[in-house]
Amino acid sequence: MLIGVAGMVGTGKTTLSRALASRFGLQIALESVDADNPWLDSFYAGPDEMRAYALPLQLHFLATRFASMRRMRGLGGSWILDRTWYEDAEIFARGLFEQGLMTADEWALYRSLYAELLHSPAARPPRLMIYLHGPLDIIAERIALRGRQKERETSIDYWAALHGRYERWASEFRHCRMLTLDVQDYDLVSDPDAVEDIAARLRTELEGELPQTELWPPTTRKRAFA
């Protein structure tokens, strides 16, 4: 079984993925490290380089994502995935095309390869997609407080465009069931116990499919008695 966790930077995907992996004894696949991508520095060298390297950059992301998925399927068991291949193609690669950093022919080539990969056994849809979303101002505030240096230096216009693409993508997503969580209600950094509420919703969505032995310690919340 595979559970996907989707959402833009600042929504807490990795924090939630780690918490649910510990809570239910799931294996976890985190997003690949930037240093593993040989095209990244070239892409960010300047406007001309962005146009020159946009396609190979996104093809690298796509290839490594599907290689990771193939390994996960081969290992078997239950997994939680921090960011999915759907986002790679349908949000980030599409965004580069919409910004004019990919030509129409390059975008057509990318989409044709992506469409073929979707038919591979590795790309079977998750049992459930968890989508973390919220108002742009809240997400931008969290990026400013908790983000990497490069993320904190990124303009709000970029985050606004990304936020819009994510919201459109989520509204049109039909590959599997989607559980939408508002980051205003579930901030695991400031309230780690909020994972209990999310775990309860997952048990409802995936009754009988989650591991029977849960590995999280008992909740420490105090109950009020009359």
Q: What is the distance between the alpha carbons of residues 32 and 35, in angstroms, rounded to a whole number?
A: 9
Q: What is the distance between the alpha carbons of residues 129 and 131, in angstroms, rounded to a whole number?
A: 6
Which 3 state secondary structure label does DSSP give 225?
coil
Euclidean distance between the first and the last CA atom of the chain, given in angstroms as a whole number: 42
Q: Name residues whose C-beta falls within 8 Å of residue 59's C-beta, 6 or more positions apart in sequence.
A: 110, 113
Phi, psi of 88, deg, nearest 5: -50, -50
Burial 170-191 (b: 16+ CB within 10 A, else e): beeeeebebbebebeebbbeee
The verdict on whether 82 is a catalytic residue reads yes
Judged on CB neighbours under 10 Å (0-12, 13-18, 19+), 80 is buried
Which 3 state secondary structure label does DSSP give 71?
helix
Select which of 36, 82, 185, 191 is catalytic: 82
In this structure, which amino acid lies at residue 29? A
Catalytic residue list: 82
